Amino acid sequence: MLRSLYSGISGMKGFQTNLDVVSNNIANVNTSGYKKSRITFQDMMNQQIKASTDPTAQTGGTNASQVGLGSKVGSIDNVHTQGNRQNTDRTLDLALEGEGMFIVSANPTGNDDMNSADIGFTRAGNFYLDGDGRIVNSSGQFLLDVNGEAITVPEGATSISINGQGEVNYTAEGGEVAVAGTIGLAKFSNPDGLIKNGNSTYRNSPNAGLSAEQISAPGENGTAQIVSGALEMSNVDLSEEFTNMIIAQRGFQANTRIITTSDQILEELVNLKR
């Protein structure tokens, strides 16, 4: 009887985590560059009641009899599918069409270790110019070029444009057009291995599969093209998340019913002594 109680508890914990994942997805439905999460479950260990037997000349073989002991969270994965593009007509709003991520850093040196805590990777392309002409995100992190350095637009530039290859062009005071830098993109062989860092950024992990050769200009080595004047929106599908929310709610309720039913049976067993 206690097995059913603990199975119900494990199920409640799992569906509570499921609801946590779903609610976070719904909360970020309008977050630029957000990638939804999904949860998978695994069964826990099984108690063997009867072992299997080999077939003989006189009798056939029999299968083992096992009772499961509940479920647990198997994984919480990031789903890196392309989000819809929203046009903004703002030059420093950048969307990526394809694979890769922008590289941002709070303290760029040009020789940064991509595993450093200061380095972040993001699909959120809402960038700005700070007072020194450097391109930054909403958290103040600098957008890095292909050499790992901050991109700076000189004082006095009259206009800025960014092409599909990531070149940041500006018009100088004399009217000539110059290039401030080329935006660098990082491509991961396993983007699901990235670790969410908050502020719409990720940090590298040993399982993400990033190498120095996978940092390149847009359009090179299979990386995305940049679209200026647009943002990539969240890839959350509200109808899917509401369905998952109902499943999580009903699953939680069903497991509470297991505990209630087991408690009623235990109560009947205790009352047998009366």
pLDDT of amino acid 64:
85
Global confidence as pTM:
0.85
- 119/107 Cα distance (integer angstroms): 8
**What was the pLDDT predicted at 212?**
65
For residue 107, what pLDDT is reported?
82
What is the reported pLDDT for 266? 84
Which regions of the chain are under pLDDT 70? 1, 110-112, 212-213, 273-274
Provide the pLDDT for residue 274: 63
